[in-house]
Structure 1
Amino acid sequence: MLAAMPPTPTPTPAPGAPRARERGDACPGALRLHSADDGHLARLRLPAGRLTARQVEVLAHAAETLGDGRISVTSRGNAELRGLAGDCGAELAALLAEAGLLPSPTHERVRNIVASPAAGLDGLGAADVQLWARELDERLCAAPWAAALSGRFLFVLDDGRGDVTGLGGDVTLVAVAPGAALLRLGDRTVRVAAADAPRAALAAARAFLTAAREAGTGAWRVRELPEGSGVDVRAALTTAGIAAEPVREPLPPHGAPPALAPGPLGPASLHVLAPLGRFTAGRLRALLPADEVRFTPWRGAVVVGADPGRLSGLEAHGLITRPDSPWVGVSACTGRPGCAKSLADVRADAVPGRPGLPVHYSGCERRCGHPHGDWVDVLAAPGGGYLVDGAPVPRTDLTPAVTTARTAPRTAPRTTR
């Protein structure tokens, strides 16, 4: 029987000092459940967010028979099941393994791979990075040393359109023409052959682990390495037998997510969003039949092999299919009653506002699951009410305050915290 693991407190570093971690990573996984106020939580890493039709059905079945009937999509395109019993670990693991969702019990928490969800569908990218994601996942699972990566370490694979380059990857690959890719690790960028891209990403991750071990601070992410302990990514790739050329050019500019249905994702693909990032089991099944489903970091799904005539049916299930929906870009943490740290039921309090900047509702100052880049920060305040980008707002006045914040010009962007 698999026991739930308690959360690990994070030490607070002295001002200006490198971040030091005294304990191992306790990030939840599919095999290591996390205890929450609404039961136990399992987090499934889905490289590139990809699910076969059978895996969609298995995930929906697991949610309704073992959990609370919902599947949350994370900002990395992964899936969370909540409301699990503490003794269901073995049954859940068996279900997931049979469906091919647990290819490596030793590596299941380190398979954080985000890839451009529309890659290979609309002809816009320089390479089908979905194929890179599959190869990288296979290489990760086959490398014993890779199990030492943190459950927070992130690979980002962009097909050149810039939709995922801004998601804060530790290792970022961007396809560029002809037949080449840019690889970024920390503040270093090199050019590699497209055919070497997945192998290069793995070698870069190994170089990070070496640097983290030498620094002795227990860093989980590249940005946590102490100043001056930069990784010589070109030397690491050369050691791995991969030709790499240093470049000074920046990564391509950030682009927009795939258009919502009916958008130009090819003749038979749709992009839809789940309200506040949550699918019910019924909503998830409504995506079928499909060739495959790709969860996205915008908390929705690209449905591959979907007839555009199904839009009305998806809307009837409460999915967001129109780009002018006021719920586009609205997200929230778990909040009450699921999280003991939350000061409010943020999902119940969330209001849409006119489309504009992303907005995220947080029940506490950890701001779990917030977007990357510029966004509207709605934070629950002690004693009731919220802070909207730092300004106190009564709960009853959230709608006008959030609408103004999403659409008002900004003198300076409010970036990732």
Structure 2
Amino acid sequence: MPTPPSATARDEPVIRDRGDACPGALRLHAAADGYLARVRIPGGLLTARQATVLALAADRFGDGHLELTSRGNVQLRGLAEGCGTGLAELLDATGLLPAPGHERVRNVVATPLSGLLGSGRPHVTPWVGELDRLLCASTRATALSGRFLFAVDDGRGDVAALDPDVTLLGAPRGRALVRLGADPGAVEVDAADAPRAALLAAEYFLDSADAAGTRAWRVSELPAEHALEAGEFAARLGAAGITAAVVPAVAWPYAPPPRPWGPGAGDPAPLCVLPPLGRLTSDQWRVLVGVAAAGEDDGEGDGELRITPWRSVVLPRASIRRPVDGYARLVAAGLSVAPDGPWESVTACTGQPGCAKALSDVRADARAVVEAGRAEGEAVGAPVHWSGCERRCGHPRGAAWVDLVATPDGYRLDGRPVPSHELAQAVADARSQPRVSEDAVKK
């Protein structure tokens, strides 16, 4: 498997001559299919009321679809020029824009199953809300790029494997570990101090980036002489009134993403729902919201959805037993709610016609290959990602993946050209071969 561009070792510092161009809910991106808005959802945590507003926004301003991103956010596409004010007002009314000046820096992924299923691990979901509150209250944090990433992990190692810039890892006995970039070590703090420590880590990064003069967007881009050091970070925490201890080497855990759950997985709660290619119509989205809200014990609650960085959705208070028809409604809507479905671990970038750089309609091609495999009864294998160009936008993190890249003459699969009439079989063969992820090797 080719090494993803983000993982390539750098011999020279990255020097940025401009700010990042990541879209937001206020700064829209002009795409080939209209304007695009990216709504940050820290930790992927949505109430049913907020989710309903997103569907309304997709219908009122966009193309009637919602896209889930690899950071647990939601994208709206096909937006008309001049819709920005109306969209912002709609999102703000339901709490999705708590601080306009910070909306692009609220990049927080979190363990989607934290606090569920009696795992015995620390419940870290409340850290997400506190970290978001601190970010939005920090003037300094507005200098972060839209690519800077926080991960809040309950100790299992799922989101810690997503190349975050700052990681909070839940630890036993009311403690937490804070990791800076890919440092093998960490700083240990009291769990109650973890969100503030994460903000201070981001401010430490900004100070180092300013000193380096390279306008780095991410921790990995800092030159060696300005790299973040655990000892210096611990000293900064101490100066801020947070007791901290350096842990030189940590056996960082790794856990795979949650899989779709249904009757075939022992009827557990909650449901984990997989929309094909992370894209839903507003009608499909409303089915999700309805099942989430109906999962309340009294039937009158707001409901909760957790969008995962793997483009699935966890419904914490729903199961196939409550309500009894929830599972059937989701399946009828074309959503996967059982393991080993044909769409499991299949991802794709936007492709044509939405992206001007794409060389193919990769989503349509992926659907054709999946349908061919379904007809043959093929088993789920290694993750596969379809890319419309060499940039490989949205490729999987923390896993070894089958790499399909569109070219002017067709597709390359793991670096070799594949004739179009052999594509479906070549993908099936590649997915059936064992692949060891970099994270599993590190573990």
- 8 Å contact 1:122–1:265 — kept in the other structure? no
- 8 Å contact 2:382–2:434 — kept in the other structure? no
Q: How does 1:3-402 map to 2 (within 5 A)?
A: 16-186=11-181, 187=183, 188-231=185-228, 232-262=232-262, 268-289=269-290, 290=293, 291-308=303-320, 309=324, 310-350=326-366, 351-352=369-370, 354-373=379-398, 374-383=400-409, 385-402=410-427
Which deviates more from structure 2 when the two are superposed, residues 128-137 or residues 285-294?
A: 285-294
Whole-angstrom CA distance in 1 between matches of 2:52 and 2:247: 45
Whole-angstrom CA distance in 1 between matches of 2:107 and 2:145: 10
- Cα deviation for residue 260 of structure 1 reads 1.8
- 8 Å contact 1:362–1:380 — kept in the other structure? yes
Counterpart of 2:394 in 1: which secondary structure? coil
Counterpart of 1:361 in 2: which secondary structure? strand
Whole-angstrom CA distance in 2 between matches of 1:117 and 1:146: 25
Counterpart of 1:207 in 2: which secondary structure? helix
Aligned pair in 2 of structure 1 residues 412, 95: CA closer, same or farther (>3 Å)?
closer
Counterpart of 1:21 in 2: which secondary structure? coil
Total equivalences in the alignment: 400
- 8 Å contact 2:161–2:439 — kept in the other structure? no
Name the Cα RMSD after superposition: 1.9
Counterpart of 2:297 in structure 1 is: none
Gaps of 5+ in 2: 1-9, 294-302, 374-378
Aligned pair in 2 of structure 1 residues 412, 181: CA closer, same or farther (>3 Å)?
closer
Whole-angstrom CA distance in 2 between matches of 1:59 and 1:218: 34
Aligned pair in 2 of structure 1 residues 94, 379: CA closer, same or farther (>3 Å)?
same
Cα deviation, 1:70-98, whole Å, max 9, x if unaligned, reads 11000010010000011100000000000
- 8 Å contact 1:272–1:302 — kept in the other structure? yes
Percent identity among equivalent residues? 56
Aligned pair in 2 of structure 1 residues 109, 128: CA closer, same or farther (>3 Å)?
same
Query: Taking structure 2 as the reference length, what is the TM-score of the superposition?
Result: 0.87
Counterpart of 1:7 in structure 2 is: none
Cα deviation, 1:318-340, whole Å, max 9, x if unaligned, reads 11111111210111000000100
Whole-angstrom CA distance in 1 between matches of 2:319 and 2:272: 12
Cα deviation, 1:118-158, whole Å, max 9, x if unaligned, reads 11121215221110000000000011110110100000011
**Structure 1 counterpart of 2:391, one-letter code:** R
Counterpart of 1:165 in 2: which secondary structure? helix
| Deviation >3 Å, runs of 4+ | 263-268, 410-415
Aligned pair in 2 of structure 1 residues 406, 267: CA closer, same or farther (>3 Å)?
closer
Query: Taking structure 1 as the reference length, what is the TM-score of the superposition?
Result: 0.92
Which deviates more from structure 2 when the two are superposed, residues 179-188 or residues 208-217?
A: 179-188
- Cα deviation for residue 69 of structure 1 reads 0.7
**Structure 1 counterpart of 2:187, one-letter code:** V
Whole-angstrom CA distance in 1 between matches of 2:275 and 2:236: 41
- 8 Å contact 2:262–2:268 — kept in the other structure? no
Counterpart of 2:431 in structure 1 is: 406
- Cα deviation for residue 258 of structure 1 reads 2.3
- Cα deviation for residue 357 of structure 1 reads 1.8
Whole-angstrom CA distance in 1 between matches of 2:266 and 2:174: 23
- Cα deviation for residue 411 of structure 1 reads 7.8
- Cα deviation for residue 248 of structure 1 reads 2.6
Which has the larger share of helix?
2
**Structure 1 counterpart of 2:282, one-letter code:** A
